[in-house]
């Protein structure tokens, strides 16, 4: 923890200065070649959040609003290549950190008979679980956007994929590190203490320029899907230093596996990792559970899925994550109607302290291009939880209207 914060401050700002013009340039590039055959998809969404309690911290707004845009443009390059650009932006009325732009993807892909090479800014998903994907290590989380694994910062990468009959081997060189995003002092919901993300520190003297490496082998054997991985480099999840609350990004080696068995209506899922490093206690994290679906409940078109998962960290009380010994129980309702109406109701309960996080997500399509989504997050029995007590007054309801193209 010896390196000056001035450097990382600089790096963050340089990154912002680079990413903004690159996003603008990418959009200009797409519009200039608009008559070439770009495939595209995306949305522009308006979001309103209403907080039900007064905050324990200085951000005292009871309502905040934001507008965001997501797009993915893809076009073939020659016989075997393709190029993908996925810009993102959000403007937030209160939180300056949530007002940000990013390139989720800016990547060239070359496909051959038995291999594929991807070079650029990419987005990769690993994992099988529903509550938390502990194996999903390649990209930094755009945590200020929410907990869903779709919110990720574009990761600089050179990725070689070897395709085999039984599955694939994926090798990564990851030059350049992205810092996790956190709410500013004016943002909600947030913890009592704001993370000093402008003063991040690094174990590696190369800071954000440390080159990380990773490999994953994955494949399917009948109803079993298996993945093994190893990662060496900068942890995506920092430890927070006291009393500055500046993130500290340590070096680590992570090995892990993910497995899913698909047995008729039952899905059995597990993700397991082991992390080791000079600046952390070596530990394992586990997410393990099952999903069962009832199709066409009571002669209707409604499907109901039940998800139960156990989240465990063997450091137990010493764990710096909120999932040290927790149970997720979730119910997914799909009406299978014309409007694709869906709802997800879930609770993550701490088996040690008793704190509970309730989530409700629901969505419904309107006309052909609009979708209305509702989300609510409620924390209960959190007063005595060493981390979650900070969120006891941060309950909110969010309404989002998206236009899709």
Partner 1 sequence: MKALSIIPLSLTLLAVSTGLAQAETAEERGLAIAIELNANNDNFADSTASMTMTLINRAGKKSVRRMRSRTLEVPGDGDKSMTIFDEPADVKGTASLTYSHATEADEQWLYLPALKRVKRISSKNKTGAFMGSEFAFEDIGSQEVEKYTYKYIGDDEVNGIPVHKVEAYPAYKYSGYTRIMNYIDQERMLSLKTEFFDRKDKLLKTLSLDEYEHYDGKHWRANRLEMVNAQTGKSTILEFSDYEFATGLQSKDFSSNALKKLR
From 174-182, 260-268, 274-282, 350-358, span contacting partner 1 (CB under 8 A) = 260-268
Gap between the Cα atoms of 380 and 388, Å rounded: 9
From 89-97, 190-198, 236-244, 364-372, span contacting partner 1 (CB under 8 A) = 364-372
| CB-based contact 296:261 (threshold 8 Å) | no
Starting at the edge strand found earlier in the chain, the sheet holding 247-249 runs 201-202, 247-249, 239-240
Cβ at position 97, least distance to partner 1 in Å: 22
DSSP class of 127: -
Cβ at position 287, least distance to partner 1 in Å: 15
Residue 88, both tokens: 């993102």
Give the count of beta carbons closer than 10 Å to the beta carbon of residue 223. Answer: 13
From 17-25, 66-74, 200-208, 392-400, span contacting partner 1 (CB under 8 A) = 66-74
Coil/strand/helix, residue 227? strand
Cβ at position 101, least distance to partner 1 in Å: 18
Residue 368 binding partner 1, by CB under 8 A: yes
Residue 79 binding partner 1, by CB under 8 A: no
Residue 371 binding partner 1, by CB under 8 A: yes
Choosing from 321, 336, 359, 380, the residue that interacts with partner 1 (CB under 8 A) is 336
Residue 74 binding partner 1, by CB under 8 A: yes
Residue 293 binding partner 1, by CB under 8 A: yes
Residue 296 binding partner 1, by CB under 8 A: yes
Gap between the Cα atoms of 361 and 146, Å rounded: 13
| Surface-to-core class of residue 273, CB atoms within 10 Å of its CB (0-12 exposed, 13-18 middle, 19+ buried) | buried
Nearer to partner 1, 48 or 304 (CB): 304
Residue 264 binding partner 1, by CB under 8 A: yes
How many residues bind partner 1 (CB under 8 A)? The answer is 46
Give the count of beta carbons closer than 10 Å to the beta carbon of residue 19. Answer: 20
Residue 77 binding partner 1, by CB under 8 A: no
Angle at 376 (CA atoms; ends 95, 88), nearest 5 degrees = 45
243 prior amide bond cis, ω within 30: yes
Nearer to partner 1, 9 or 160 (CB): 160
From 237-245, 246-254, 309-317, 363-371, span contacting partner 1 (CB under 8 A) = 363-371
Gap between the Cα atoms of 100 and 103, Å rounded: 11
Gap between the Cα atoms of 22 and 15, Å rounded: 10
Partnered with residue 346 across adjacent β-strands are 330, 359
Residue 369 binding partner 1, by CB under 8 A: yes
Residue 109 binding partner 1, by CB under 8 A: yes
Nearer to partner 1, 15 or 404 (CB): 404
Residue 155 binding partner 1, by CB under 8 A: no
Angle at 330 (CA atoms; ends 219, 370), nearest 5 degrees = 85
Characterise 78 by phi-psi region: left (phi > 0), alpha (psi -120 to 50), beta (else): left
Per CB under 8 A, residues contacting partner 1 are 39, 41, 43, 70, 72, 74, 82, 109, 111, 113, 116, 123-125, 127, 148-150, 161, 163, 168, 220, 225, 260, 262, 264-267, 293, 295-296, 301, 303, 336-340, 365, 368-369, 371, 402, 404-405
């Amino acid at each position: 923890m010896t390196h000056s914060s001035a450097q990382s401050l600089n790096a963050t700002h340089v990154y912002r200065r680079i990413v903004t013009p690159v996003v603008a340039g990418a959009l200009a590039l797409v519009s200039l070649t608009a008559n070439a055959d770009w495939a595209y998809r995306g949305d522009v969404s308006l979001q309103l959040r209403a907080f039900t309690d007064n905050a324990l911290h200085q951000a005292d707004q009871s309502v905040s609003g934001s507008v965001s845009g997501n797009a993915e443009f893809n076009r073939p390059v020659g016989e075997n290549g393709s190029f993908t650009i996925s810009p993102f932006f959000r403007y937030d009325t209160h939180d300056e950190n949530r007002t940000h732009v990013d390139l989720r993807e800016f990547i060239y892909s070359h496909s051959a008979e038995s291999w594929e090479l991807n070079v650029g800014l990419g987005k990769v998903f690993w994992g099988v679980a529903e509550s938390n994907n502990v194996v999903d290590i390649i990209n930094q989380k755009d945590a200020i956007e929410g907990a869903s694994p779709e919110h990720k910062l574009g990761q600089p990468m050179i990725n070689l994929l070897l395709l085999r009959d039984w599955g694939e081997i994926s090798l990564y060189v990851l030059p350049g590190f992205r810092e996790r995003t956190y709410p500013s002092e004016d943002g909600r919901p947030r913890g009592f203490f704001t993370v000093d993300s402008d003063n991040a520190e690094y174990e590696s003297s190369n800071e954000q320029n440390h080159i990380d490496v990773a490999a994953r082998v994955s494949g399917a054997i009948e109803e079993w899907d298996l993945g093994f991985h190893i990662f060496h480099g900068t942890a995506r999840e920092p430890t927070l230093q006291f009393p500055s609350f500046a993130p500290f990004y340590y070096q680590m080696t992570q090995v892990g596996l993910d497995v899913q068995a698909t047995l008729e209506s039952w899905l059995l899922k597990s993700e397991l990792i082991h992390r080791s490093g000079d600046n952390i206690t070596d530990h394992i994290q586990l997410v393990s559970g099952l999903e069962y679906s009832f199709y066409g409940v009571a002669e209707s078109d409604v499907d109901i899925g039940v998800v139960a998962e156990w989240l465990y960290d063997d450091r137990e009380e010493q764990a710096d994550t909120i999932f040290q010994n927790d149970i997720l129980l979730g119910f997914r309702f799909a009406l299978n109607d014309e409007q694709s109406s869906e709802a997800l109701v879930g609770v993550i309960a701490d088996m040690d302290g008793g704190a509970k996080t309730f989530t409700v997500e629901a969505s419904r399509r309107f006309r052909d291009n609009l979708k209305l989504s509702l989300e609510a997050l409620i924390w209960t029995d959190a007063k005595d939880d060493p981390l979650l007590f900070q969120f006891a007054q941060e309950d909110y309801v969010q309404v989002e209207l998206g236009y899709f193209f």
